[in-house]
Structure 1
């Protein structure tokens, strides 16, 4: 009974010590509160319109006919395009794109109108700067859609001139009608597509670096032995007391992120907020467990921070929200399963976006829980490093 009473008292002493450090060092205020808030404000305001619109675009009209001018006007009606200028040659347009003045341009060839009505199939060329992936993809889609519709309109006019009835023309132009129903994100809103994983990804990097810093700085500033003495030489109580306040604060910041996404911005949330809050809590604790593991195997602040930063940044590429994990090389596909952000992303896709039963997401919740326990076998290594109190620069 005495040990049971002593344990909470010791834990409370460690918590009080950690709270004193949190309020006395501005870096914790910045990393736990200010940095996430700045990230939320930046990315949510950056993509508040959903899809980028009025992307700078150019037209090179080498025909200057009524038909080519009509096609140019059709490009100006597309919301994603902004025809900023018309160039007289391919070279001028290419140089403008290389200077990032435009993201893409269309070339209407000479004799476009004459070839079109003579059934000589004129070719319209469009170029996009793929160094900017999203603007390039949007412009390419807009170019293709507009030119396809323009070609269909030209065929329709030709057939009408030949005396065919309009009711007979459409089946010839489009024999198969495609009825599209995008699931989960029918608005094709890039903010829904990116921010639901990008913001937790930024939070992941912050949690990894902050947790590693808070433990590694004890060794660097020669306070690790005093920390252990406060915890009565119990490494588990020492770690729990140090990280519990951070866990609560990071969970609050994560819950605030979800409140903004699913409450204020009304992003899809099929199964309610509780599965996502549970995922966020496990996500925060999993990252803290992973951070402890890094500092256990590399009890040097510099090295552990490098490992944590690299792991967090690589997670953006291998999570699968920008490039499907199934299409990656097999070795990289296997690596995706060791990323907490990947499991959080799948939980989001299942619970918030698609609304599938909890049963089908259980393994991903379990994977996050396993990360919490990951560092337990390695805690003796950390305890030894804390006792030695030797900082390796």
Structure 2
């Protein structure tokens, strides 16, 4: 009878723990780098809103009215007026060079046209290649200039004896109310911090998984690894990955505590569903890494592939653009990525906790990744025993 201390699984696990603790590289990649990512994502968005975006002003009128408008623009927290330009061409070039991200043009005779009741136009231009910055500038300009555009009419009407409420009801007959759901403060960190951390985290998990398995082939120790596991590929893989799974799960749970406990990001469920989802996601991502490596067990090539696959997570997870509105081929490909299902489950938990009925497909998909990786283990074993990938850099 094989004792517990001499079982193949225990021997593989012990062997991997020795390998792990013998090199500082493992400590840095598995612990220090993820912790840095937590700190990075927890602080990158600052107050959660874009402030002090550099813009310019072109005042071609140089009157008291235009100067009042310039001062009003300077008081908007979104803007930071960095320069007053004398012509449109120089402001346009500065915007193209991203020295500023927008500019306001006050035309000649603006005050005279306003006082005479003639059509007067305030034009603003903004850099929209950067979608988020452009949207912020657009919203700030609209909020600022809308009341300014009504001021001359209100002033003239009040001079004729019409009350401010009466003229306002004529100019704005329908009042609108905006109620942003789940993020009333329009805080970027509430929406982006959690998914972006786990997108970075899944890149680390994939790279570590591929490296620790591929290093056995690269350094020609794979046969010894298999012999330690009594030639059982399942035992070899599980024993090798288990220490990293434990470390990654602890870091994932710690990240949830920092993001939702310390940073106080609102969520509609308890910590238990979040942590269970995180653990399932980590295991699925490791299995995905094993699957990718098993397709072609050459560490140099697969690390490049994994880096590319991991970087696609930001797009195919649906954070930057709704996946259902992408091309159908891209939409269906997105389901091949564990992070896509993780984000779907997390959004359900965070924004409403609507129940398992809305996420069972995503949960099931995460469980499929380990099963697919298991099907590839015979191919990986044959590749190891053939030794044909050991000389591929």
Q: TM-score, normalised by structure 1?
A: 0.95
Aligned twin of 2:224 = 226
Q: 2: distance between equivalents of 1:121 and 1:14? A: 81
SS at match of 2:84: strand
Match of 2:205 among 207, 210, 213: 207
Q: 1: distance between equivalents of 2:177 and 2:196? A: 31
SS at match of 2:285: helix
Aligned twin of 2:154 = 156
Aligned twin of 1:311 = 309
Q: 2: distance between equivalents of 1:154 and 1:196? A: 47
Check conservation: 1:272, 1:352, Cα contact below 8 A. Answer: no
Q: 2: distance between equivalents of 1:349 and 1:190? A: 15
Aligned twin of 2:48 = 50
Number of corresponding residues: 391
Report whether the alignment pairs 1:271 with 2:269. yes
Match of 2:24 among 26, 31, 39: 26
Aligned twin of 2:371 = 373
- Once the 2 structures are TM-superposed, how far is the Cα of residue 231 of structure 1 from its aligned partner? 0.5
Report the CA distance shift for 1:7/1:367 in structure 2 as closer, same or farther (over 3 A): farther
Check conservation: 2:54, 2:99, Cα contact below 8 A. Answer: yes
- Once the 2 structures are TM-superposed, how far is the Cα of residue 151 of structure 1 from its aligned partner? 0.9
Check conservation: 1:80, 1:139, Cα contact below 8 A. Answer: yes
Aligned twin of 2:14 = 16
Q: 1: distance between equivalents of 2:296 and 2:285? A: 16
What whole-Å deviation, never above 9, does each CA across 1:28-51 have from its counterpart, x for those lacking one? 112111111222222321213101
What whole-Å deviation, never above 9, does each CA across 1:193-248 have from its counterpart, x for those lacking one? 21111110000111011100110110010000000011010000000000011011
What whole-Å deviation, never above 9, does each CA across 1:124-181 have from its counterpart, x for those lacking one? 2222223433222211211121111211233322322232122211211211111211
Q: 1: distance between equivalents of 2:325 and 2:161? A: 50
Check conservation: 1:351, 1:358, Cα contact below 8 A. Answer: no
Aligned twin of 2:107 = 109
Name structure 1 gaps, 5 residues minimum: none
> Matches of residues 253-268 of structure 1 in structure 2 within 5 Å?
253-268=251-266
Report whether the alignment pairs 1:359 with 2:361. no
Stretch of structure 1 that moved more, 308-317 or 202-211? 308-317
Report the CA distance shift for 1:327/1:154 in structure 2 as closer, same or farther (over 3 A): farther
Check conservation: 1:62, 1:110, Cα contact below 8 A. Answer: yes
- Once the 2 structures are TM-superposed, how far is the Cα of residue 378 of structure 1 from its aligned partner? 1.1
Q: 1: distance between equivalents of 2:193 and 2:173? A: 39
Q: 2: distance between equivalents of 1:24 and 1:34? A: 16
Report whether the alignment pairs 1:285 with 2:283. yes
- Once the 2 structures are TM-superposed, how far is the Cα of residue 252 of structure 1 from its aligned partner? 1.2
Aligned twin of 2:248 = 250
- Once the 2 structures are TM-superposed, how far is the Cα of residue 8 of structure 1 from its aligned partner? 8.2
Check conservation: 1:109, 1:123, Cα contact below 8 A. Answer: yes
Match of 2:138 among 115, 137, 140: 140
Q: 1: distance between equivalents of 2:112 and 2:146? A: 18
Measured on the aligned residues, the alpha-carbon RMSD in Å equals 1.7
Q: Which runs of structure 1 show a deviation greater than 4 angstroms over 4 or more consecutive aligned residues?
A: 5-8
Name structure 2 gaps, 5 residues minimum: none
Check conservation: 2:42, 2:263, Cα contact below 8 A. Answer: no
